Structure 1
């Protein structure tokens, strides 16, 4: 039987209580507990103090969720979106419960488009709307001041807010105010998505991870020194790997010839490698063993799949040089090199007909296309120079220039300027037209 999910529900006492009520409907898979607050600024402290006590966190809205993000939690975080149904509820309270005149209204959190569409759907006359869809972290006092200034100046006659503290303060100041609540329907939908997502991640974390580790040039070491020296290197490396695998709660096998196999679960390996971005023992191995050590990490649902992927990862690393660590995922995406500034994530699959056609047109491999797209995404800018492309793709600068010229010729890139570095020749800046490049994939 699968362990129950310990769920923390965070929000103002009233809305958190509603979420708790809905969460009890899923008591067959959830153990919910409410952690209430009076102001969303309390969220980081709540999360920090209780992080180890829960598997998953549900926030009553995007405000506390954004606060939680800055706390850098490694647990799954979800929030109940204030969708159109929440606005309908607010309009119902304004018109039929409080019987207020809805001439000019200030809204926080929602965009003007969402508000206008809600009024159109209800066929109600559209009032004058002031919308404050802030970006990033905002305090309740700032939102309160925004609503109050509009009301005090006569620009609005009603305020609609998602903040409990703002609602209480505006009511105290005499401002006609309505609070947005998460609806039961939205809470129920969010919980279903959260549970499904968590279960998927739990299965993924329990996947097998196989690491193939080899001493590069092992035979050359034997020839240049002796088999005894090679064995000493193996024993030193074994001690390092033994401490490493102990942290992973896994097992290690010495295969001879400077080769090792490590077995563990994906979950622990993900944490130690910081989501497959670094290999924490590379520096120690370099310091103590002083030879190049390569590694291939394979992930899979079965031992066979994980082992096959580890061999593939090791082979991909060998193509890039010595001392390279790569990962091949269960979906055949490649991650790596680990502990490198040119770390990428890309696919090696070649069964996409449109991608193969594009590769044929450019006279490069599908894998190279995927690495090119991953490089552009990693650089996160509009232009690229041949030197950067060569560094990420592990090709010569000359080959990178040839590839970029080919992209220009085929209409997938254009020269947009030059970059002067030092006293050398200016480097051409290329803009790769992602939309045109991806168009064949979408057909």
Structure 2
């Protein structure tokens, strides 16, 4: 089941965290906007009643929450470091605003100086706030205002939302330092490891199925049986090495298919939180072959095996070179990154959505192809000709299916495209999956 986590901070940063958290299929986020420490504490106490962990946007709110001593769940904050300063300094540099020097708070002098050095801006005059680590917003505003009025600062950089707002009202040039995506990812990983649900599932059995795509075709072009047997042994050896990393057990179940067992905690760690299958890249680079992979979670080994077979079928239906995960609640995760990188995965596709698609006449094969194509290209709108080509059917059949899917509430007409002759072409949007984009 998904683990509920609370996200708290200014609206713009919470939106960023919501975007990043979509690459964590285990999380079910609940977000609250909070611009002040008081609002952050109030939001934390509210979310803490149902969430297993909280992630706050900055250290001051986290400190205030810890001092309140009212929270019963783990709470983490996204740290600010030099990486969050790069984008803001670069933007100010392009705008020609660094000539008068810069003033920085929320970071150490070493972090700020290193960032300037990395950007080749060592000559820029730098002043860093050296007061208390958790200074109030009023003190930080006074620091920046004093430097600006003395002509010692052309632009201010702050990591505190309230300070940025107040400096803006004073018409003083200011840039808000926001955490990088990597900073948010690291914090979310820490939060995930702290949850009771995550710890209780670490020893859960995971069943995986590996299948070599178009193996029979590759076998036919081998010059001899000896070469074919060598290929099988090489692939088997690579699969063994990968499963060894998972502390798992591997057994072949055919000339081109393997079955393995591991535990959920190890599998999550080795896949980077269900993001990538490095074995596929190794097989592709060594032999020019791709893999279809199905992973199954379940409360029993039998249930996990059934889910693994279902996930493998979806990977093959998507055209191969894909990996899907079917979890114990039958939600679908995928595709994971394979040899041909898919830069993102879809958020978990709920089992009810899958049933809705099937009831509206969308076969599992069509759904698998759509999920894979949408994850790769972030595309949710199609012309009928594009859809026919993607699904490998005629335009007439595509029109018929679209009619069924519109009646079933899966698809809407999103727009019309004008053409030189004839009626405008309709553009269809798969509304039931559009919410799964990153």
Q: TM-score when scaled to structure 2?
A: 0.48
Higher relative contact order (CA 8 A, sep 6+): 2
Structure having the higher Rg: 1
**TM norm structure 1:** 0.48
